[in-house]
Amino acid sequence: MKHESTIISYSDGESLTTRKEIFTRLKTYPATEEETERSLGLFLRGSLLARILAIEEIYKRILNLPGMIFDVGTWRGQTAVLCENFRAIFEPMHFNRRIACFDTFEGYLGFSDADRATEIHKDGTYSTGGEEAVEYLATLLRLHETANIGGNNAGKHTVVKGDCRKTIPEFFEKNPNEFVALCFMDVNSVVPTRESFDLVFERMVPGGIVAFWQLTRNIIPAEGMVYLQSILGKRDHKLFRTATYPGLCYLVKE
């Protein structure tokens, strides 16, 4: 299945073609493996860099807060990996900043009559391969930890497979001491978004952040619907958007 970026995009055809050419040049870069690994910035297109900078903006807001980072709807796990690397950069001695990734790893789950399903947003789309994807992400997170400062403390992070409405309460039951400083939400169906938000918000510290990837996107209305129905006027918070990636919005718990 094609990723939505090839179907839903602000870029025109020429821009999308150019994006592919940049990626092709990465795969054929005439340098050693060591030089290529150190030169990835040559192939990092602006819109992806904007996304990374937006995650950094949010991460910096929790530096003085205790608690975990949740990535609910982690998909390939890029946000979680970035957060581990931001941890190593901005708070290298904070070995208690654990990350938990939640996903079915078998595609979206929980679409109902309340949702606006499409060919790319419906139950089962965006599967990443089940158990193999879980193991791949868990290994990749551990490799990044090991490569970072304090790598001898690798193994802090967790990858959880299943319906987040069940796995989040199970996680808290197994870890009754844990609370949340930051949660990224990318579930994209109404009921699972609402229920997982409630579960996380209950365990979130004051000043903690819930970040929504799709809050203002018309094509994926679930997060906006949950915000209007269950959060606005009902939860004490302030709402912001990131400076470099306007689609990524976040609320700060008061």
3-state SS string over 232-254? CCCCCEEEEECCCCCCCEEEEEC
Is pLDDT of 9 > 90?
no
Per-residue pLDDT, 59: 98
Per-residue pLDDT, 2: 56
CA distance 20 to 113: 36
Per-residue pLDDT, 99: 98
What would the two tokens of residue 158 be? Answer: 């967790």
* List of residues 6+ apart from 97 with CB closer than 8 A: 68, 69, 87, 91, 156, 181
Domain ranges in the chain? 1-44, 46-253
Name the band, by pLDDT with cuts 50, 70 and 90, for residue 114. Answer: confident
Q: Is the dihedral of CA 181, 186, 190, 195 positive or negative?
A: negative
Per-residue pLDDT, 80: 98
Whole-number mean pLDDT of the chain? 94
Where in 123-248 does DSSP place strands (E)? 158-161, 180-185, 204-212, 237-241
Give pLDDT tens digits for 68-108: 999 999 999 999 999 999 999 999 999 999 999 999 999 99
What would the two tokens of residue 146 be? Answer: 């090991």
Minimum mean pLDDT range among 3-7, 28-32, 159-163, 250-254? 3-7
DSSP letter assigned to residue 204: E
Query: Which of 210, 214, 208 lies closest to 190 in space, CA to CA?
Result: 214
On whether the CB atoms of residues 97 and 62 are closer than 8 A, the answer is no
CA distance 140 to 30: 26
The strand pairing partners of 250, in sequence order, are 211, 240
Give pLDDT tens digits for 190-201: 999 999 999 999
Per-residue pLDDT, 8: 56
Left if phi > 0, otherwise alpha if psi is -120 to 50, otherwise beta: which for 126? Answer: left
Give pLDDT tens digits for 198-245: 999 999 999 999 999 999 998 899 999 999 999 999 999 999 999 999
Percentage of residues in the chain having pLDDT higher than 90: 83
Per-residue pLDDT, 1: 55
Give pLDDT tens digits for 164-178: 999 999 999 999 999
State the CB neighbour count (10 A cutoff) for residue 103: 30
Query: Which of 147, 131, 180, 187 lies closest to 164 in space, CA to CA?
Result: 187
CATH of 46-253, one of 1.10.8.60, 3.10.105.10, 3.30.930.10, 3.40.50.150: 3.40.50.150
CA distance 156 to 179: 15
Is pLDDT of 15 > 90?
no
* List of residues 6+ apart from 129 with CB closer than 8 A: 105, 136
Minimum mean pLDDT range among 60-64, 142-146, 150-154, 250-254? 150-154
Span 20-42, average pLDDT: 95
What would the two tokens of residue 230 be? Answer: 């269950």
Per-residue pLDDT, 12: 66
Per-residue pLDDT, 44: 96
Is pLDDT of 179 > 60?
yes
The strand pairing partners of 71, in sequence order, are 101, 184
Where in the chain does DSSP place strands (E)? 68-72, 99-103, 158-161, 180-185, 204-212, 237-241, 249-253
